[in-house]
Structure 1
């Protein structure tokens, strides 16, 4: 893990801004091909996400598994981070190598606000992963009954 990614993951605003001021590449990657934006998004560090985007972080960068910042924020229930990433141009229906999307991730975790935000922005609930599972199946499998109802309503 690089110093920049570590600062992003841990919410260390001062270190992150210092490193960027020293010229560290905002899109530097670690051994898993992850970035500081992915780490900050998954951890829900809104201020860091905004700072990284302002410095030119690639909002659609994906790690070695295809996991993006939007997927991380969605699966962790960080609504404000999701909104910032979408406003910055994050690909709503991007898929991991397994076929997982941000909507599937949020549906599996049961975060109603994030699922609703993704649907409102046009997330495709019919997308299937490599096992032919949709967000609805993920929600049902994880016993997220409220999300199942929301996704069924969105289909009709």
Structure 2
């Protein structure tokens, strides 16, 4: 019997969706497309409430994420930890996937489990290019998250004053970040920078 005439086995939706999650995590584009063709829901939910796209994003599986997004995956769908592909890519500096989500309807106002925007953890981690992308996309720079921090405050409090944090603080200030906003202890970003000995950051914050 030739390969062309070999009978194909019917695949259940459950099997197709299991294959889709496996392919998404493994960055297997052909596997993603095959599973979708076999009837897997592109918005299926797996462990932790993750969609295939969130699964691919958390594995930094760029090719698989791209295939899913091009096939119509919701870039704003959140898992049980309130991570969407957009929010997670922004928080972790996954710039290729972040760009894909922004090109396909990412909600720049969306909030993570801490009540913060994607810009806040990006600033906390000192991801300069990610911060630049998020600012350009219109993510609010003065949003205050549930613990009481802005992106500017987190760049200072969780940063180390190194050049990458100087870059991030400069970007935030240029984008209109308000250095007078106090944290939940009543301190400004400048006061926090001075307390931590972050001289270059403090100089930026003190500039008129």
Change in Cα spacing, 1:139 to 1:38, as seen in structure 2 (3 Å) is farther
What is the TM-score with the length of structure 1 in the denominator?
0.88
- Within the candidate set 158, 163, 172, 1:118 is matched to 172
Gaps of 5+ in 1: none
The answer to which of 18-27 and 28-37 deviates more is 18-27
What is the TM-score with the length of structure 2 in the denominator?
0.68
- Within the candidate set 68, 73, 76, 2:117 is matched to 68
**Alpha-carbon distance, 1:38 to partner:** 1.7
1:127 aligns with 181
Gaps of 5+ in 2: 1-47
Which entry has the higher C-alpha Rg, 1 or 2? Answer: 2
Do residues 94 (structure 1) and 94 (structure 2) align?
no
Runs of at least 4 residues of structure 1 off by over 6 A?
A: none
1:124-154 deviations in whole A, cap 9, x for unaligned? 000112221221233234432321222122x
Higher relative contact order (CA 8 A, sep 6+): 1
The answer to which of 122-131 and 134-143 deviates more is 134-143
Aligned residues: 154
Q: Report if aligned partners of 1:92, 1:102 keep a CA contact under 8 Å in 2.
A: yes
Q: What root-mean-square deviation, in Å, do the aligned CA atoms of Structure 1 and Structure 2 show?
A: 1.7
